[in-house]
Amino acid sequence: VPGAYLIHETKIKTARAEPILASKTRRRIPLGTNRCDPFQSVARELELVERTLSRAIGSREQSLTDIAAHLIDGGGKRVRPAVTLLAHLGLGGKGSQDIVDIATAIELIHTATLLHDDILDDAETRRGKVSAYRKFGLKPTLVAGDFLFIKAFEFAGKFDETVVQWTADACTLLTEGEILQGIFNRNRAVTLDDYVEIVKRKTASLFQTGCKVGAYLAGAKPAIVDEADSYGLNLGIAFQIVDDILDVVGHATLLGKPTGMDLRDGNPALPIILALEDSVVREAFEQSKSGEGRIGEALEAIKRGPAIRKAKELSRHYAEEALASLKKLPASPYRNGLKTLVQLIIDRRF
Ligand code: FPP
Ligand code: MG
């Protein structure tokens, strides 16, 4: 039923994707001056997150700790904790253990979903290493995902009802995103609006929640908390669009995983959706038994056509929306960090 899945529609509006592509204006990210390394400005707090993560994954069962450490020590970018901390400090928060704990919870939830996601996607690699379930086995990895998820709530559950509810909502959205993505697997009926809805749930929800909770715990006014929320949501959408673009045009070594996986898996990723008019792409997307030759041809067809240019245009649109929300926050080095992060995400190669 069209629209039936819009149960958790946030009150923050994101623009519909179709009209953005129809518009003739070419977008530029007006970054300007005042660049500030987002990770450097919260380096002290991120170090505390690292220590809290290490503490969190200790278990009497060594295998749980080993599986969690395989991913947690495996070179994650820590973007979600970083935006949580930047939003908090940028709105007058003091970088207490509380904000470190909620940033840790968000990274733990993210890691739990990745352990489970690689099982669901049958992924061989993650972050340049063999995926956890291929190394440790499916059953222990499934339980390790549950373990991390519970650990996350040990950290998030001590906050007030609002924070607990927002964190729970993010987790609900992640699961609903996974299911919605499955509905559109190898399904040519998928639209741009469906894509944006999937991405809001499966990727943007944790960025959004991190920023919102960071702002709320800093004592920001509701209107400012909403702007932080909107920044996180739009940044998260831009992040996933770039991820999808890199799956077609990126370098496997830099990415730590093979390219072309969305097409092989029948994932409704943006460059594929934007190239569905091409019969070679459509057939490779719809048929699970496409050989490597067909996949290669379809990837070349996506690269030759307008899909990558259009996808980049959309990523810049959401990046601009994120920047527009940032303008409503008070100026600070942390806000400059959030601004620079938008550019880093748009420009990233891995
Ligand atoms: C990665 O997408 C997948 C997610 C970000 C969400 C996965 C969600 C679940 C497995 C539901 C479980 C939820 C909880 C709260 C434990 P992708 O496969 O497109 O990205 P990838 O290329 O990084 O694998
Ligand atoms: Mg996956």
Contact 210/81 with Cβ under 8 angstroms?
Answer: yes
* 90 class by beta-carbon count within 10 Å (0-12 exposed, 13-18 middle, 19+ buried): buried
Rounded distance from Cα 202 to ligand 1 centre (Å): 6
Q: Determine which residue's CA is closest to atom 6 belonging to ligand 1.
A: 202
d(CA 313, CA 61): 48
Contact 101/52 with Cβ under 8 angstroms?
Answer: yes
Confidence (pLDDT) at 33: 60
d(CA 168, CA 153): 9
Average pLDDT, the chain: 91
Rounded distance from Cα 22 to ligand 1 centre (Å): 30
Name the CA dihedral angle for 28, 30, 33, 37, rounded to a multiple of 10 degrees.
-80
pLDDT band at 151 (very low <50, low <70, confident <90, very high): very high
Confidence (pLDDT) at 20: 63
Confidence (pLDDT) at 45: 96
Rounded distance from Cα 103 to ligand 2 centre (Å): 22
The token pair that represents 21 in the structure block: 């592509």
* Helix residue spans in the chain (DSSP H): 17-22, 38-41, 43-56, 62-72, 79-90, 97-121, 132-136, 138-156, 161-183, 192-199, 205-217, 222-249, 252-255, 261-265, 270-273, 279-286, 292-304, 307-327, 333-347
User: Residue 203 in 3-state DSSP?
Assistant: helix
The token pair that represents 64 in the structure block: 């749980």
* Cα diameter, the chain: 59
Confidence (pLDDT) at 2: 34
Q: Give the nearest ligand 1 atom to 269 CA.
A: 19
d(CA 127, CA 136): 16
264-310 pLDDT tens trace: 999 999 999 999 999 999 999 999 988 999 999 999 999 999 999 99
As for ligand 1, residues whose beta carbon falls within 6 Å of it are 109, 112-113, 116-117, 120-121, 123, 145, 149, 171, 174-175, 177-178, 202-203
Distances (CA, A) of 55 to 48, 65, 108, 155: 11, 10, 12, 12
User: Residue 271 in 3-state DSSP?
Assistant: helix
250-266 pLDDT tens trace: 988 888 778 899 999 99
Question: Which residues pair with residue 130 across a beta bridge?
Answer: 125
191-237 pLDDT tens trace: 999 999 999 999 999 999 999 999 999 999 999 999 999 999 999 99
- Reply yes or no on whether the pLDDT at 26 is more than 50: no
